[in-house]
Amino acid sequence: MSVNTAYSQVLEEAYGRERRAEEARDWLEVAHARLAVAEACRRLGRLDQAEAAWKASYRTARSLPDSGAMAWALWSGGTLARQSGQLDMALRWLQRAYRLAREGEDEHACGYALAGIAETRRIRGEHEESRTLHQRILTEARQRDETRHIVWALEGIAQIDRTLGDLETARSGFAEARDIARRGSDFRGYAWALRGLADVSSLEGECEPALELLRWAERTCREMDLISAFAYCRKMRGNVLYRAERFAEAEQVYGEAFVEFQGIHEPRGSALARLGTLKSQHRLGRDRSATRHDLLALYESLDSHQLHHTRSMVEKALFELTGE
């Protein structure tokens, strides 16, 4: 299937592939099919099914045993753990996936596991470690001329630059990723690059261009069943509206994003959307003590190690909005 195939279609095909492999008693193919089920379910927000499928894939691979297939299953489990906010667990499984992939001489699995480690470290706020890994992945992807991996690495580096405040470099990175994704028909990467460009544009006061970029990104996410990516685009739309001081609209959009994140059990996104809602309500005249109470509750709900960067954003909002 194409990299741009909708995940509902991917899941249907994966279930059929699993049944055929079981009938043929081809256990390596069963492991691969269950991995496909896990990934489609994860991206569709069906997290319980995703967890059951990756573990089934791992058990099947271990029974053979096949190090490469075990690595892929652990990569899927680590990615699911990261999506669920369990960053320590994600890092453990992804590092183990990398070791197994090297043992099985599966370069493709090595690359995906390394990318997962890089992304997890970025979310944990370990920017320099993450940048080093992203740059390594980018170099190797350019050597192999792998469009999707080039785009992914460029976007990760650009996101780090944006987080650290280097907007000009971030804009350049997202723009390069957008252009490469468009030429290579990587619609997922294209949508994520547009989201990054919208973020940078709005930080530089360009509200309407940012909203237009997000309209295209959201449309792509809907067409491809990219539920998590769509939720992050909605959250970014809230950010853009908030920065433009359109607080009532921002409150509504943050609320929509929160519902999306809750539906796929995504704690980091849920926390960010909730933070945006509280900030918007405060700007609309909500009582300061009520804002303080809810921000403290949100702060205390976040694990200081697992979601350090998100927690620091809530802490910053507490100081800016309530003086504490």
3: three-class secondary structure by DSSP? coil
- Taking residue 54's Cβ as centre, other Cβ atoms within 10 Å add up to 28
Do 100 and 71 contact (CB within 8 A), yes or no?
yes
**Residue 305 pLDDT grade (very low, low, confident, very high; cuts 50, 70, 90):** low
100 found inside a domain: yes
Which pLDDT score, from 0 to 100, does residue 88 have? 92
Two tokens, residue 91: 């890092």
Fill in the amino acid letter for 126: E
Helical axes 187-203 vs 207-223, angle rounded to 10°: 160
Which pLDDT score, from 0 to 100, does residue 295 have? 95
Helical axes 47-63 vs 67-83, angle rounded to 10°: 160
Decide which of 71, 100, 124 is a domain's last residue: 124
Q: Using a pLDDT cut of 90, give the percent of the chain over it.
A: 82
Q: For residue 93, give the nearest of 128, 38, 55 by alpha carbon.
A: 55
- This prediction's pTM: 0.88
Domain count of the fold of the chain: 2
Q: For residue 70, give the nearest of 80, 61, 83, 60 by alpha carbon.
A: 61
All residues at 6 or more sequence positions from 61 whose CB lies less than 8 Å from its CB, including other chains: 28, 31, 69, 70, 72, 73
Q: Evaluate if residue 167 carries a pLDDT over 70.
A: yes
CATH number of the domain enclosing 87: 1.25.40.10
102 found inside a domain: yes
141 found inside a domain: no
Decide which of 93, 124, 155 is a domain's last residue: 124
As a whole number of angstroms, the longest Cα–Cα distance in the chain is 66
29 found inside a domain: yes
Do 267 and 84 contact (CB within 8 A), yes or no?
yes
282-292 residues labelled b (16+ CB within 10 A) or e (exposed): bbeebeeeebb
Which pLDDT score, from 0 to 100, does residue 118 have? 97
The predicted-structure confidence for 99-124, as pLDDT tens digits, reads as follows: 999 999 998 999 999 999 999 999 88
By residue range, what is the domain housing residue 311? 220-323
Which pLDDT score, from 0 to 100, does residue 8 have? 84
Same domain for 119 and 226, yes or no, is: no
82 found inside a domain: yes
- Taking residue 180's Cβ as centre, other Cβ atoms within 10 Å add up to 18
314 found inside a domain: yes
Q: What DSSP string runs through 93-150?
A: HHHHHHHHHHHTT-HHHHHHHHHHHHHHHHHTT-HHHHHHHHHHHHHHHHHHT-HHHH
Q: For residue 125, give the nearest of 98, 163, 95 by alpha carbon.
A: 163
Q: Evaluate if residue 303 carries a pLDDT over 90.
A: no
Do 48 and 59 contact (CB within 8 A), yes or no?
no
Q: Evaluate if residue 3 carries a pLDDT over 70.
A: no
Decide which of 69, 92, 124 is a domain's last residue: 124
The predicted-structure confidence for 224-282, as pLDDT tens digits, reads as follows: 888 889 999 999 999 999 999 999 999 999 999 999 999 888 889 999 999 999 999 99
Distance, in Å, from the CA atom of 30 to the CA atom of 53, rounded to the nearest integer, reads: 11
Q: Using a pLDDT cut of 70, give the percent of the chain over it.
A: 97
160 found inside a domain: no
Residue that has been written with the tokens 């990299």 in this structure: 3
Two tokens, residue 133: 């890994």
Q: What DSSP string runs through 228-254?
A: HHHHHHHHHHHHHHHHTT-HHHHHHHH
175 found inside a domain: no
